[in-house]
Chains A and B, each alone.
Chain A
């Protein structure tokens, strides 16, 4: 079974530029998550989708971050404009269902450096 795919793996941009990350979850997984992992910290949930609908985006900085999952499968996360403090690893995860006890499977992440 293929895991969660993410691209690109690394991205370096200047502040105020825009950037987009792509995620393809495990086939059949209804729930998709985007996390931000700052160096030395645990992952922080940014947004959670159930199929193509947003379930929770309470910690998403909506003035600069946006995410979509148009067909209920793959998803994109965009930052525009980027700030220095956005430097982090952006992790995508998926689970079969929405329940907390369902295992979340993480992709390898995209390491973003904002200069």
Chain B
């Protein structure tokens, strides 16, 4: 059962363009939605995260848009740079079993930014 669906699987954009990655979730108990960035040979690193009580969060060139009614959220990378080329994972977590939170990841999007 895939609880977080991510698209597209891969994305190619030109330098300076906007990269958009979408995710949809099924379980309304999810209450925390982080995005992770992973470079080849490295572990994922937290990029930006949002709670469902806000519709948008911006940090520098990275913005999360959140649509609670549609159960969808997306990552927008403005002015994309070649250094942004990486795999991006959306994730979701919920309180399960007392104070235990568990992250469920999407399958990832390989972003390539051409110079």
Pair B108/A42 contact, Cβ less than 8 Å: yes
Per-position 1/0 for B78-105, Cβ under 8 A of A: 0000000000010101110101111101
24 contacts between A and B (CB under 8 A): A40-B108, A41-B107, A41-B108, A42-B89, A42-B107, A43-B44, A43-B89, A43-B103, A55-B97, A56-B102, A98-B101, A100-B32, A100-B93, A100-B95, A100-B103, A101-B93, A103-B46, A104-B46, A104-B103, A106-B43, A106-B45, A108-B41, A108-B42, A108-B43
Pair B46/A40 contact, Cβ less than 8 Å: no
Tell me the dominant secondary structure on chain B's binding face. strand
**Beyond A48-B102, A104-B103, A106-B44, 9 extra complex contacts between A and B, CB < 8 Å:** A42-B6, A45-B102, A99-B99, A99-B101, A100-B94, A101-B101, A103-B46, A105-B45, A108-B43
How long is the Cα–Cα vector from A41 to B104 in the complex, in angstroms? 11
Instruction: Tell me the B residues contacting A by CB distance below 8 Å.
Output: 4, 6, 31-32, 41-46, 49, 51, 89, 91, 93-95, 97, 99-103, 105-108
Q: Is A4 close to B, CB under 8 A?
A: yes
Q: Is A44 close to B, CB under 8 A?
A: yes
How long is the Cα–Cα vector from A107 to B38 in the complex, in angstroms? 11
Contacts of A109 in B (CB 8 A): 42-43
Q: How many residues of A contact B (CB 8 A)?
A: 23
